[in-house]
Structure 1
Amino acid sequence: MSYGSYGGPRHGGGRGRRGGGGGGGPRHNHPPPERPEVKIKRAIIKFGDSDDPTPVDELSRAAEYLRDKLPADAAAVAQGFKIGICEEPHKIPYYATLLAIVSSGTLQEDSSASGAANLTRPVLEDLFKAFQSSLDALSWRDIRFFTLFFAHLTNLGMINTGSVVALLQSYAAVLDEPGVSQIRATNASRCIGEGLIRAGSSLNSSHSSAVTDLVAAIRTYHDSISDAARALYHPLPSLTLSSTPAQSEKAHELLGSLIVSLDSLAQDNWALPICIPQPETESSVIPQILRLTSEDRMDVPSVLVPPEVEGEEKVGAEETGVEWWIRMYDDELTPSPATPLGYTLRTLFVDMINIYEVNRKEGARILMEIHRWLSPGTFRLEGDREATGIILQNCLIEAVLSQLFHLPRSTLKLMYHAALINELCKLSPQTVGPAVGKSFRKMYSLLSSPDPVDDGAAGLDTRLAHLFVEWFALHMSNFGFAWVWKEWVPDLELPEYHPKRGVMRRVVDYETRLAYYDRILKTLPGPMADPEAGVVPGQAPGPTYAYEDSDHPHYQVAAGLLTMIKDRAKADEVTAHCLKLARSVPIQHMVMQALLHVGSRSFSHFLNAVERYLPLLRGEAGSDVSTGEKNKEKARIILCAAGEYWERNQQMVGVVFDKLMQYQIIEPSDVVDYAFELSAKGGGTPGLSCERWLLVEAALNKANGRVVSAKRKVATLNKQEEDRRARAIANAGGIGMDVDGDAQPGTFRKHVFFTFTNSF
């Protein structure tokens, strides 16, 4: 990073034209020059991204550059720091040191400079305002990052310890709120705990009793969480409500790990975890930092955490406040999250993974270079076979998977986590590839317990098992479906409904969707490829038209109906034709199968057929949009016809059902009823298979989506009504105008009622 002529020509001597004379070579359309404040913010955000061996080598140049910009551009400098703190948490220790060097440089130039003359004071004041804005918005991640920044400034002697203790105590007050939600309390606990991890030594030296009370507050809240609440989201469901040793070894809870880490630090006199860098202790930096007197140090303003807004819609992944992290590797490869080192690294990596969702390639690159921003010796040196210590790539994969295999939902979409791992593999296939392979084997081994009674846990949660299947198949599709399948062959001796057998079937099914039947068949070993093994179906996925055989008793009738639909006869003509058929003819079944048969060539063919004969389908499904009446039996026949047609391709069953619900041909409740019915064929297993559970989940999501949509429409109507009344009052001069004189009593309420009911 250049801090001199930032943004200028890199090589100089450039001309606007090529060649000479009057020939007129091509013009270069240079972008407009950056505004000064943009240059300043960019310089701060890009700090440490140069080719220097470590960010420490850049501190002096960056500090000199910022000194030249202060105090005139204090707002731009503060904005740059704010962006860096909230979007680049790995740079927070260096940002704090950089600000301390800038401040110390002013004092070195004028030893009589008072706090009022400190150039960094307006910058810190603006950062305090930005922190307050994050607090008002309850942006907990930004609140936590600001707290870490203030903690590092406390270690550098720029902020008074008493104000930081008061800040942490304001978070502790959240834990005592009556009826506080788990997610709110967990976020507050993390702000306290992670602040103590960074500044525990400085705070404990002058406020030891307050530090002890803060740790006790986190512990008290954690103990108040019921065993049932914690067990509900455990990746390895327990056979009892109490945690077992087998569970404790395979997964760690976030808050529990934080408390154990704090206890460990307290016993070690609050020494910083070895991964957190201390650039202020470098020999080249020590002379540049002068300790401020207590009078010159600033105080973090007193704050109160605002209450949550009741009834506010939560957007995004479901947050519960109880988070478990699955262990993928041994302690020799990755540190336990229940240690200061393991907890600090895991939370840092998780934050960065979530931040860089918008740019997975950049996120993968920065994660692979994260060792530059941590203390030397944190990770094992690459290429040294005799070296010991934890491995960066394994730590990264474990962090990504902790967010993918998160209950009740992944923190972000499966596609992002899978794509991020794919990018990491591209950057370092020799190191990331083996880490991914180990995680595959670990997840497969967790599917079942060899002795569930002694372990107290039956195996991996079914939701996580399904995610494992999807991720495994997706990852294999990027690497030629190459896997050591022979490792799974011995498990073919397990019972048919064993979790490992189920995973085998679903993996092959998902891989077939991502490729094609014959391609996947060639990758499997003989025992798995044998249809008798129950892993691979005997035929490629495809439709099964019930009236294909000429010996079928309704073959002629079905052929006539199919011809009309193929010829694109009008919907009312097909309806009239169906009314003339004998009662013994299964009309609903035949119509659905005919439409599916015509639309089986592609998804667009299917949609065209459904949209063309929408009135016919609604009539045959017993759905009357005008009256709202439903015929459950007719809807069941429609669903059964679709399920039978795509019996050999369960993916298409879900697609068809989704479109039938979208066009309100059937209702979500019809799909739920269908899924819970016992199989029409003999030998069906009671309950829900994985495929039918996916149908239920899609139906529930569709119903919930309609409720959310209806709520938004009602909120919009309420807002429009309020605006209309406000305009009417304003136009009338505000005298005696409570409502618009033209409004009919009850009209608005009727409008809202019909809007809500029509959504269903």
Structure 2
Amino acid sequence: MSDYRRNGKRKRSREPRDRYLPVPRQLRENLLSIADSPLAVPAQQAQEIAKLLSDNFDDVQIKNEFFDLLVRLVLEQPLKIPFAAAVILYGNDSNPEITTEALQRAGERLQEAFNAGHWRDVKLLVRFLACLQRLFEGEGVIPLLDKLFDCAIDLQEANENDVVGLELVKIILLTLPYAMGYAENSIVPQALEILKKTEIVASMKLPIEDLLESYTGSTDEKPVHYLSLIRLLQGQMRNEEARGWAFAILPPFPKYISQQVDGQDAMVTAPALHPFPSLDIASPVNAGPNPLFPEAYFSLYADQEVETVPKTDDIAASLIRDTIVDTINILDFNRDAVATLLVNLDCYWHSETFIKRGMPFEKIRLGEIEGSKSTWKPEDMVLDGIFSQVFTLPNPERKIVYYHSVITETCKKAPGAVAPSLGRAIRFLFRNLDVMDLELVSRFLDWFAHHLSNFDYRWKWQEWVEDLVRSDLHPKKAFIIAAIDKEIRLSFGKRIKKTIEEEFRYLITEGKEKEVPDFKYADDRTPYAAEGALLQSQIRKKAPDAEIQETLNVIHAKASEAGVDDVLIPSTDAFVTCICYIGSVSFSHLISIVDRCKERLLAIGQESEAARRQIIASIVAYWKDQPGNAINIIDKLLNYTILTPISVIQWALADHLGAGEALSESWTYEMVAKTVAKVTNRVRQIVAARLQEGLTQEQIDSIDETLIKEREGMRSYFKFIDDAANVVALGINDAFIEKETNGELSAEDAAVIKAWGKRWQVVFRRKAQVEETVVGEQAVDARVRLLPVQMETDPKVESQNGNGAMDGVTVEELE
């Protein structure tokens, strides 16, 4: 009856859908989706794509579109490089011109990338060529690797602190496994010769590496020692030699797949061989648009009792990590696609590389697994890779919040598999807070609060209840306090109080639950209460400046009678407190009031440096229960030049320092770090302007003069911070000595405060050293000498925004 309508008439049958896809679309979809499914056989997929391409190779449009896509796939999805190469391998059997075209396209793009100093593109293209090793005449990729090494040595001889040479050696060491794994004939002798040479560079340690360690403190306290990526790769390749150069994780591709012709097996012929693309290495080498630093290998799961990721002495650790990190950093414009690729990580390696997805950790620990030779969890490997970027020193490639979003997306796509691994990562990080680099603690704090905000602020706080008895100065107790403050910043106090355990609720005081802090001048017992209340009314009602000044003069007179040395201090306190109170409705409301009062605020700073610092003190005092708001306001006043960087730094590390307790407050670190980032970004913008082409001599002189002034100012700020931290680290500041003498500081707290001083020193000495390598005289002069090379390749000159992201700048914007 379903064939008839209600009126008794027969339904018209539907025409079958035409499922035929045009050839270009078939090639595109098949290539982009290769190896994405755990049920697929990548070798067969590659053969089918190769056959379809071969059958339509005479179509110029199809050919151009396919090879454009192939190169883009190599550069955008590193996990699929071996599969892209497999298409060419099988295509070569039926039509050698496919290989010729692929090599020409890859060679041209490789030359462009090398000339521009785009080292990741160089690495990925060379890897693609290495996967085609069996198709080359002679030694294939080996001569190119030798040439890259010679270039690295030249760079090292010219400058022993050169990092571009290290980058070239890294490319060599990450290419060899693919070349050896996919070679037709053994290239072991050539590989051993290369490894013998790279040992020289890999054994070197640059001075800045001492400042790039993820964990500080004594050697015994560190959960993981510093692992230079170059030295690690060198050792891993030597270990692979002992395993017989197996490279067992690489996806296998049979040399030949049986093909049928008229029902009979076709005769198998030897593949056509091709010359390796040439690469011209210009001198001097373009270092690229972004500053390079030595890389360290960071892991949360490696070398532990239960092996859920490759050991650090296994080349698999570096090969898999490298593809994960590149995938994340390349596809930053599409975190959903990144998460999809990461969740499918096990599809892109040998089928026995990983254990089944979502395998419970306890089952692995107890050995209750069947049918798997591996204990490596793909979820652990993915999270290890993402966190390695969150905790990259000195700066990750992308904004840190981007990595937050990748973790969130990965959790959403595979919550059952990822969440338990994430919990283990959090516990590992919290357990080692005492010895973790302070900047990394800050990043962990930001991510932790942000992550909880995406999942209803749920966390097993009960696990940390034992740390509540510690002093507020202890790193773990300080982290708990800061994490709750961050959550309140992202939500509000009353809601967060409901999400945490009873034992933690005392940390959310009554003041933290208030959305609008109390106005201190509403209390008649407060000095200048009457004037403060009147001033608040005048500002709110937009009274004339003369009336406001009259009220301030009354405060000045009373302060003078009370023996106050600088009468601007109490009047500034009243004025700024009133602004904060009126503007507490919203940040935009506050900014509108600051705009109205900007001239008076500027005049305060010009008249008295102490009064300028009082602006900061008053803002922090008003928002003492929600310091995040104070930081945002101070940041905005820096933009308005109402405050100066040195005034913020001096207030935080002199007026507010105390015996050193301030160094344990996360918001104090955040305030100083943000201020320093503004300064360094300004200097980088000036350098970027200097490196633009077509400048007149007058412009060059003007920029150079500004650069010298701003650079010296930056150095003075770093020196002030270092001196202040050093005094605390040595325990020789007056407040520390006084409290220690009076017994107000226990021996344990005194030791903790000194440790905070050392941690601050490490962070800001590193930041200072990083800036010297980017904007110091030698660095800038070297870039200026390379201007002709840069003009030819036309890369964008960039400046750092303090969070790893880079923004272009022009002379006009600078002026």
Which residue matches 2:106?
127
Q: 2:380 aligns with which of 389, 394, 408?
A: 394
> What is the deviation of 1:44?
3.7
Q: 1:640 aligns with which of 617, 622, 625?
A: 617
What whole-Å deviation, never above 9, does each CA across 1:612-643 have from its counterpart, x for those lacking one? 11111111222xxxxxxx73222112222212
* Matched AA of 1:604: S
- Residue 517 (str. 1) matches residue 493 (str. 2): yes
Q: How does 1:463-542 map to 2 (within 5 A)?
A: 463-531=439-507, 539-540=512-513, 542=516
Q: How does 1:235-254 map to 2 (within 5 A)?
A: 235-239=214-218, 244=219, 247=222, 249=224, 252-254=227-229
Q: Which moved more, 1:81-90 or 1:376-385?
A: 376-385
What whole-Å deviation, never above 9, does each CA across 1:110-153 have from its counterpart, x for those lacking one? xxxxxxxx343133222211111111111111111111111111
> What is the deviation of 1:95?
1.5
> What is the deviation of 1:258?
0.8
- Residue 12 (str. 1) matches residue 18 (str. 2): yes
The question of whether the paired residues in 1 share the 8 Å contact of 2:473 and 2:664 is answered with no
Which residue matches 1:185?
165
Q: How does 1:156-235 map to 2 (within 5 A)?
A: 157-176=134-153, 177=155, 178-179=158-159, 181-200=161-180, 208-226=188-206, 229-235=208-214
* Matched AA of 1:463: E
Which residue matches 1:113?
none
Which residue matches 1:415?
401
Which residue matches 1:652?
629
> What is the deviation of 1:606?
0.3
Percent of aligned pairs sharing the same letter: 20
Q: 2:79 aligns with which of 90, 93, 99?
A: 90
Which residue matches 1:736?
none
* Matched AA of 1:386: I
What whole-Å deviation, never above 9, does each CA across 1:477-533 have from its counterpart, x for those lacking one? 2222222222111122333321111111111111112222122222333332235xx
Q: Which moved more, 1:372-381 or 1:280-289?
A: 280-289
* Matched AA of 1:379: F
Which residue matches 1:324?
297
For residue 358 of structure 1, give the secondary structure of its aligned residue in structure 2.
coil
For residue 199 of structure 2, give the secondary structure of its aligned residue in structure 1.
helix
Q: 1:690 aligns with which of 644, 666, 669?
A: 666
Q: How does 1:295-374 map to 2 (within 5 A)?
A: 296-304=273-281, 307-309=284-286, 314=290, 319-328=292-301, 330=304, 331-374=306-349
For residue 326 of structure 1, give the secondary structure of its aligned residue in structure 2.
coil
Q: Distance in 2 between matches of 1:408 and 1:237?
A: 15
> What is the deviation of 1:677?
1.4
Which residue matches 1:617?
601
Q: How does 1:516-665 map to 2 (within 5 A)?
A: 516-531=492-507, 539-540=512-513, 542-571=516-545, 574-575=548-549, 578-579=552-553, 582-585=556-559, 586-622=570-606, 631-665=608-642
Q: Distance in 2 between matches of 1:229 and 1:711?
A: 22
Q: Which moved more, 1:746-755 or 1:318-327?
A: 746-755
Which residue matches 1:701?
677
Q: How does 1:87-166 map to 2 (within 5 A)?
A: 87-106=76-95, 118-154=97-133, 157-166=134-143
> What is the deviation of 1:41?
5.5
Q: How does 1:708-719 map to 2 (within 5 A)?
A: 708-711=684-687, 719=694
Which residue matches 1:440?
426
For residue 236 of structure 1, give the secondary structure of its aligned residue in structure 2.
coil
Q: Distance in 1 between matches of 2:223 and 2:465?
A: 30
> What is the deviation of 1:309?
4.4
Q: Across the two proteins, how many residue pairs are aligned to each other?
A: 664
For residue 530 of structure 1, give the secondary structure of its aligned residue in structure 2.
helix
* Matched AA of 1:195: T
Give the TM-score normalised by structure 2. 0.74
What whole-Å deviation, never above 9, does each CA across 1:646-700 have from its counterpart, x for those lacking one? 11211011111111111111111110111111438x8773756432222111111
The question of whether the paired residues in 2 share the 8 Å contact of 1:170 and 1:303 is answered with no
Q: 1:266 aligns with which of 241, 250, 258?
A: 241
Quote the RMSD (CA, aligned, Å).
3.5
Q: Distance in 2 between matches of 1:467 and 1:694?
A: 10
For residue 603 of structure 2, give the secondary structure of its aligned residue in structure 1.
helix
For residue 357 of structure 1, give the secondary structure of its aligned residue in structure 2.
coil
Cα gap change, 1:536 to 1:216, in 2 (>3 Å): farther
> What is the deviation of 1:570?
4.1
What whole-Å deviation, never above 9, does each CA across 1:37-93 have from its counterpart, x for those lacking one? 788666544445589623333223211221133255344333222111111112211
Q: How does 1:732-743 map to 2 (within 5 A)?
A: none
Q: Distance in 2 between matches of 1:569 and 1:140?
A: 61
Cα gap change, 1:290 to 1:367, in 2 (>3 Å): farther
- Residue 256 (str. 1) matches residue 254 (str. 2): no
Q: Distance in 2 between matches of 1:561 and 1:522?
A: 38
Q: 2:45 aligns with which of 50, 55, 58?
A: 58
> What is the deviation of 1:607?
0.4
- Structure 2: gaps spanning 5 or more residues: 1-14, 260-264, 360-367, 560-569, 711-812
* Matched AA of 1:138: G
The question of whether the paired residues in 1 share the 8 Å contact of 2:335 and 2:406 is answered with yes
The question of whether the paired residues in 2 share the 8 Å contact of 1:186 and 1:255 is answered with yes
Q: Distance in 2 between matches of 1:167 and 1:519?
A: 61
- Structure 1: gaps spanning 5 or more residues: 1-8, 15-32, 108-117, 449-458, 623-629, 723-745
The question of whether the paired residues in 2 share the 8 Å contact of 1:639 and 1:657 is answered with yes
* Matched AA of 1:345: I
Cα gap change, 1:518 to 1:230, in 2 (>3 Å): same
* Matched AA of 1:584: K
* Matched AA of 1:524: I
Q: Which moved more, 1:577-586 or 1:415-424?
A: 577-586
Higher relative contact order (CA 8 A, sep 6+): 2
Cα gap change, 1:245 to 1:72, in 2 (>3 Å): farther
